[in-house]
Amino acid sequence: MSTNSFGAKGTLGVGDQSYEIYRLNTVEGSSNLPFSLKVLLENLLRTEDGANITKEHINALGQWDENAEPDTEIQFTPARVIMQDFTGVPCVVDLATMREAVAELGGDAKKINPLAPAEMVIDHSVIIDVFGTPDAFEKNVEFEYGRNKERYQFLRWGQTAFDDFKVVPPGTGIVHQVNIEHLARTVMVRDGVAYPDSCVGTDSHTTMVNGLGVLGWGVGGIEAEAAMLGQPVSMLIPRVVGFKLSGEIPAGATATDVVLTITQMLRQHGVVGKFVEFYGDGVGAVPLANRATIGNMSPEFGSTCAIFPIDEVTLDYLRLTGRSDEQVALVEAYTKEQGLWHDPSHEPRYSEYLELDLSTVVPSIAGPKRPQDRIVVSEAKEQFKLDIKNYGVDGDLRSASVNKEGDTFELKDGAVVIASITSCTNTSNPSVMMGAALLAKKAVEKGLTVPPWVKTSMAPGSQVVTGYYENAGLWPYLEKLGFYLVGYGCTTCIGNSGPLSDDISAAINENDLSVVSVLSGNRNFEGRINPDVKMNYLASPPLVIAYALAGTMDFDFDTDALGKDAEGNEVFLKDIWPTPDEVESTIAQAINKELFVKDYADVFAGDERWKSLQTPEGDTFEWDGESTYVRKPPYFEGMKLETTPVEDISGARVLAKLGDSVTTDHISPAGAIKADSPAGRYLNEHGVERKDFNSYGSRRGNHEVMVRGTFANIRLKNQLLDGVEGGFTRDFTAGGEQAAIYDAAENYAKEGIPLVILGGKEYGSGSSRDWAAKGTRLLGVKAVITESFERIHRSNLIGMGVLPLQFPKGESTDSLGLDGTETFDISGITELNEGKTPKTVHVTATKEGGDTVEFDAVVRIDTPGEAEYFRNDGILQYVLRSLVK
């Protein structure tokens, strides 16, 4: 119960119902706060306890100084937790392990239960093994259940063993799409109290729900577990960037083009750790699907969230997606009462300002390896010729002859070998999905075809897409171009693109061709999409189809013809591009409320495959010692009720010296497991055949696989080695010989040698992958020293007891002359034992000849809460001790 020191507690009547609410207008300064900070303010009023959340915290938020640098810590208690299965499985594994650990420490195992509603959507496990055929969806789901039976049985156990934990079975849709179409409440009601919906999620793109006016963002699985167990999220009151939208999207441009433009603008502006909030007259003209698309891309520009306020557009979407009349009435009444309803004439105060006139947006793609690297489509051919030089192609494009099923063709550098409409970013958005289907229709009517080397696929965000394609009669045209339904899941975007045909794969690898994927998802990092593909481009769904027809990135849509029609006339993209009116009229007649009501009527029940899974019973899980999917992790082994003092680091060796923009994909890949890798050898030794290896993402419930896969990305460049790509390092226990990173770490552990990682800027960007931190910890890494960190990975490292340090401002490995062969001593960490967090620690790097490099590294433990987690050797250990005590 709140101590209610502001007298904020009151009632709100809506129809026949009466709700308890906490009124924001009782706090001075609240009226002109940004929308997102008003949500935080209500959260503090409702959870004020006089200890962790005090009157001073509430006043600090009410009187927020928009120009100040963040320095006030608050405790945010999210209304719910949302998970996908790649990151959710290890969450449930950890909760199951915690139940046993609590019992061993003398506590009650049943205390380990979600205290906030937790929902998991299984969407990351389907792989595109079969494509281009009418039975592709059925066969891929069959393969998915075959590979993941153990995981799915484990998750069904979790659904029965834990209170307030629900699972949306496979084949339903993508987590963020299911979240906005069904799970999001916009305004929550619990125990008679109404309050703004908010959530944290184990996928960085949780921010998609920001389009619905729901404050939420991605956290690591480690933080999500703590939130489920009632731990508030410790954060500093952030700076808020006001982003004004005006004008309307021109014909020929799409929501994707808007998103890529905004992504580039915000990356250049610098919004890491900040909230972004959209405001102005233009907001009302932005459809909900476009708002969700923009919110979804928040991790790509680095902000914590990218939120839209609530207005009539929000209510219309809630009605369309089948929310009850009572819920819609509550959302309207509550937000108007609390000053959370969008008023274009009222401008909140913001820390920084940006503006985009939507009419200036032009068709764009991004790539070949980062979502923020926008390329104007009219300049894409020229840019491709420049970018491919970075892949060893200088001069004429190379080619190889391929014979595939009796069809002989030339495969060149730049060939589009994957064209995939995939992932939540765009498959949530009817304007681009209908645009793609209408483009396909016009292409088929002109007699255009897709070249035989292109692997085509369609993986919508929800089953509703199938419904509106059927209503519009557009499936046959997509299928004629090879875009058959392959699954309702993340597929290509998460690295589950599936294998290329053997002939094409062999031609690529034997001739070292630099080939391309084009996808509508939001993740195009190196080594993520497919091991055969070096260059990856993000594009709108219509442009995915356009590039599939072109068959190459070496293509200018303005001057190069896509093919010829029946009369022999050249056909250009402009000839088949649908008009905005065509798209809108098709949407109007094909999409209705009944589609959503039907598809979400029994969303947690699942199909016969799901229902027939044999499910273990009991409060604690019976671990199978032979399982290669789900194993009990070692985090709590030997743990005592009292903490062990923090120690300084001495004699540490460098496991990897890395450059800028190292992503969580580089640190903990989600895709295919190579047969000759440490993880591949482990599976082979445990009787798993190569065809059944599955992916790293699907095996996240097995720490033995995941620690062997840490830093195993095929495109990782460890600067300790010259010209070598992949998960390798120099092992200084073996005279500096090249070795797999896991094997070297094992040797260091035997010698009792601690490890450090050296990095550049934006270390840990990308997905909120908890295994990037868990694997780092289990390899024996004690500290990571970089120029800068992305938000989620930094907090995840602390959550696993790994110390995040930054070089002094303006310094780097190169400026300090560090080559990674040094031995590192780090002193001053022990101040944490005295209840203080040092601003810096002293680092001494001793070279092989005895010379030293000394500097004071900035300690990136940013809040008192994080310091507590680090003292406890991790966030889960902290929660466990708190529960037992």
CATH of the domain at 831: 3.20.19.10
The answer to the question of residue 447 being in a domain is yes
pLDDT of residue 864: 83
CA atoms within 13 A on the CB side of 376: 6
| pLDDT reported for residue 52 | 82
Tell me the C-alpha distance between 543 and 290, whole Å: 17
What are the distances in angstroms from CA 124 to CA 87, 184, 611, 696, 871?
9, 20, 20, 11, 34
What integer pLDDT is reported at residue 695 of this predicted model? Answer: 87
Instruction: Summarize pLDDT for 265-315 with one digit per residue, the tens.
Output: 999 999 988 999 999 988 998 999 999 999 999 988 889 999 999 999 999
User: Both tokens of residue 371?
Assistant: 């979502």
Query: Do 565 and 441 have their domain in common?
Result: yes
* Residue 527 pLDDT grade (very low, low, confident, very high; cuts 50, 70, 90): confident
Q: Comparing C-alpha atoms, which of 140, 224, 121 is closest to residue 181?
A: 121
Flag whether 229 is in a domain: yes
Q: Could you say which of 362, 385, 419 is where a domain stops? A: 362
Residues 6+ apart with CB under 8 A from 815: none
Is residue 223, in this structure, part of any structural domain at all? yes
Residues 561 and 477 in one domain: yes
Return the SS3 of 679. helix
Q: What is the pLDDT of residue 536?
A: 97
What is the pLDDT at residue 747?
98
**Domain shared by 209 and 312, yes or no:** no
pLDDT band at 87 (very low <50, low <70, confident <90, very high): confident
CB 307 within 8 A of CB 210: yes
Q: What 3-state DSSP class applies to 759?
A: coil
- Please state, in angstroms and rounded to a whole number, the distance separating the CA atoms of residues 652 and 673: 29
Q: Is the pLDDT of residue 183 over 80?
A: yes
Residues 210 and 253 in one domain: no
Verify that 807 and 716 share a domain, yes or no: yes
Range list of H helices, 165-253: 175-178, 221-228
Q: What CATH number does residue 387 fall under?
A: 3.30.499.10
Identify the domain boundary among 362, 385, 414. 362
232 has pLDDT over 80? yes
The answer as to whether 596 is a domain residue is no
- Beta carbons of 631 and 623 less than 8 angstroms apart: yes
Is 582 found in the same domain as 543? yes
Paired with 455 in beta bridges are 418
Residues 312 and 255 in one domain: yes
Counted residue by residue, the chain has a size of 885
pLDDT recorded at residue 572: 98
Calculate the average pLDDT of the chain: 94
Enter the tokens of residue 474: 């557009």
Residue tagged 């991004």 (tokens):
366
Q: What is the per-residue pLDDT across 471-494, written as a single tens digit (0 to 9) for each?
A: 999 999 999 999 999 999 899 988
The whole-model pTM stands at 0.86
Cα 531 to Cα 552: distance, rounded to the nearest angstrom:
18
Whole-number Å distance between alpha carbons of 664 and 713: 10
Total structural domains within the chain: 5
Domain match, 160 and 244 both: no
Of 185-194, 466-475, 608-617, where does mean pLDDT reach its minimum?
608-617
Q: Which domain holds residue 42?
A: 9-64
Q: DSSP secondary structure string, 508-562?
A: HHHTT---EEEESSS---TTTS-TT--EEEE--HHHHHHHHHH-BSS--TTTS--
Contact yes or no for 373/536 (Cβ under 8 A): no
Residue 165 lies in a domain: yes
Q: Among residues of the chain, what percentage have pLDDT more than 70?
A: 100
H-helix or E-strand spanning residue 478: helix 475-480
Residues 266 and 213 in one domain: no
Whether residues 125 and 211 fall in one domain: yes
Q: Residue 781: which H helix or E strand, with range?
A: strand 781-786
User: Are 448 and 314 in a shared domain?
Assistant: no
Distances (CA, A) of 265 to 302, 366, 373, 557, 741: 11, 13, 11, 25, 37
Average pLDDT of the residues in 838-844: 98
Query: Is residue 86 predicted with pLDDT exceeding 90?
Result: no
What pLDDT is attached to residue 769? 84
Choose the final residue of a domain: 362, 392, 420. Answer: 362
* Residue 2 located in a structural domain: no
Q: Do 399 and 509 reside in the same domain of the chain?
A: yes
pLDDT digits (tens, 9 = 90+) for 350-399: 999 999 999 999 999 999 999 889 999 999 999 999 999 999 898 899 99
| CA 133 – CA 504 distance, rounded (Å) | 19
Residue 602 lies in a domain: no
Token pair of 539, please?
Answer: 């594009």
Percent of the chain exceeding pLDDT 90 equals: 81
| CATH number of the domain enclosing 244 | 3.40.1060.10
Region of poorest pLDDT, from 43-47, 244-248, 557-561, 764-768: 764-768
Contact partners, residue 224, CB within 8 Å, separation at least 6: 81, 83, 87, 91, 200, 201, 202
CA distance 236 to 90: 28
